[in-house]
């Protein structure tokens, strides 16, 4: 045990296992507010989230506001409006949101609504459910007053038509900072960075944690395919007593190991956020070594005390960090393969 907090976490776990009743752990010292999010485009999301937190706002409002930024970014083809479509040309969006009181909401395979994260928030607030999908999610969004819109932009439409010439389904993660769009030096039509998710985690001035995750999923996916991002425990998990985690990359691999839940549970057992992300990634690498060689999965974690961890299978995963010292840090994560 490297710290008193880790010792406390481990003690609580042991007590829970032996059936002793233990009061929920609360912050020993007031945490410093912080926002972290996946990829370089997380910088802009963090800044908007930070404005909410600086005003004394709730972490849940902060992560929702932050997630809306890439959803509205017309240059971002992997989140929200302008996201690349499925193989039949439909833009379908996945999102989830969760706070530190186990309140959560999610939507999957949602079409025609530009801000799925806000629909996920309404699921959390207005329904007895956790997740709505497809036509039902759209019906709910329209009933809630969200406008029905065409999300396929001319640029995404052109990329899809280029992809139709080869129709090769090949996940290509954003592997270089500040590049999203066509893979540099590639001559293959439709050879684009075809998946990247915004996962954002925040700790506010009151020490409250929340997280949000939003994506258009894997470009050229099968119609109806849903990834990890809207699944609580896979793409996002928050436990107010321990910490929060989110993921990016090939969602099928994250769903298989309940990735974000695993990261938080490893933290509960005493691992630091960094070691927890490493172990969750290495489980994928160990269980599926051949598959893991060619695909990307990255985890980002934030403890209740404000410690951050990040790790990915492949190099190239970066995360954005915003705190009192600096609002626009981009930090490369370590990886299993160099
Ligand atoms: C998915 N995890 O739908 C998302 C896509 C992604 O980096 O994050 N790519 O599987």
236 with 229: CB under 8 angstroms?
Answer: yes
> Is pLDDT at 325 greater than 50 in this prediction?
yes
| Per-residue pLDDT reduced to its tens digit, 40-66 | 999 999 999 999 999 999 999 999 999
Could you tell me the residue ranges of all domains in the chain? 34-230+310-337
> Is pLDDT at 292 greater than 80 in this prediction?
yes
Q: Give the mutation target among 196, 224, 233, 259 for probing the ligand 1 site: most ligand atoms within 8 A of CB.
A: 196
Q: Which of the pair, 30 or 288, is modelled with greater confidence?
A: 288
- Tell me if 228 CB under 6 Å of ligand 1: yes
Averaged pLDDT, 118-139: 98
Task: Measure the CA angle with vertex 245, ends 263 and 338; round to 5°.
Answer: 70
> Is pLDDT at 9 greater than 50 in this prediction?
no
- Band the pLDDT of 30: cuts 50, 70, 90: low
Q: What is the pLDDT of residue 219?
A: 92
CA 298 to ligand 1: nearest atom: 7
| Per-residue pLDDT reduced to its tens digit, 250-291 | 999 999 999 999 999 999 999 999 999 999 999 999 999 998
- Tell me if 229 CB under 6 Å of ligand 1: yes
The dihedral over CA atoms of 166, 171, 176, 178, expressed in degrees to the nearest 10, equals 80
Task: Measure the CA angle with vertex 165, ends 162 and 169; round to 5°.
Answer: 90
| Pairing between β-strand 297-303 and β-strand 308-312 as defined by DSSP bridges | antiparallel
Q: How far does residue 113's CA lie from ligand 1's centre (Å)? A: 19
- Tell me if 316 CB under 6 Å of ligand 1: no
> Is pLDDT at 147 greater than 80 in this prediction?
yes
Q: What is the pLDDT of residue 154?
A: 95
Share of the chain above pLDDT 90, in %: 78
- Residue 317 backbone dihedrals phi, psi, to 5 degrees: -75, 125
- Tell me if 217 CB under 6 Å of ligand 1: yes
Q: What is the pLDDT of residue 331?
A: 96
Q: What is the pLDDT of residue 72?
A: 96
User: Quick one: angle between helices 273-287 and 259-268, nearest 10?
Assistant: 130
User: In this structure, which residue's CA is closest to atom 3 in ligand 1?
Assistant: 217
- Band the pLDDT of 194: cuts 50, 70, 90: low
């Amino acid at each position: 045990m490297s710290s008193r907090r880790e010792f406390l976490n481990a003690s609580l776990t042991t007590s829970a296992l032996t059936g002793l009743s233990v009061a929920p752990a609360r912050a020993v010292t007031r945490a410093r507010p912080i926002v972290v999010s996946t990829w370089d485009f997380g910088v802009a999301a963090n800044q908007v989230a930070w404005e909410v937190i600086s005003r004394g706002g709730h972490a849940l409002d902060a992560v929702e506001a932050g997630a809306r930024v890439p959803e509205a970014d017309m240059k971002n083809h992997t989140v929200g409006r302008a996201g690349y479509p499925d193989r039949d040309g439909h833009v379908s969006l996945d999102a989830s949101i969760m706070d530190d009181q186990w309140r959560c909401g999610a939507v999957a395979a949602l079409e025609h609504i530009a801000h799925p994260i806000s629909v996920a928030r309404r699921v959390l607030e207005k329904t007895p459910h956790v997740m709505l999908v497809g036509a039902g999610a759209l019906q709910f969004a329209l009933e809630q007053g969200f406008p029905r819109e065409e999300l396929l932009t001319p640029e995404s439409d052109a990329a899809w038509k280029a992809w139709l010439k080869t129709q090769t389904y090949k996940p290509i993660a954003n592997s270089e900072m500040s590049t999203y769009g066509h893979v540099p030096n590639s001559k293959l039509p439709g050879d684009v960075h075809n998946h990247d998710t915004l996962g954002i985690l925040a700790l506010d001035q009151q020490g409250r944690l929340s997280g949000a995750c939003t994506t258009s999923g894997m470009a050229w996916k099968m119609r109806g395919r849903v990834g990890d991002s809207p699944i609580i425990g896979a793409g996002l998990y928050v436990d107010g007593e321990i910490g929060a985690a989110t993921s990016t990359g090939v969602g099928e691999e994250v769903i298989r190991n309940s990735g974000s839940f695993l990261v938080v549970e490893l933290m509960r057992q005493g691992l630091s956020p960094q070691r927890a992300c490493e172990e969750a990634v290495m489980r994928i690498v160990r269980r599926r070594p051949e598959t893991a060689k060619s695909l990307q999965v990255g985890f980002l974690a934030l403890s209740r005390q404000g410690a951050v961890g990040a790790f990915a299978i492949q190099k190239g995963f970066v995360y954005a960090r915003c705190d009192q010292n600096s609002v626009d840090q981009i930090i490369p994560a370590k990886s299993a393969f160099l």
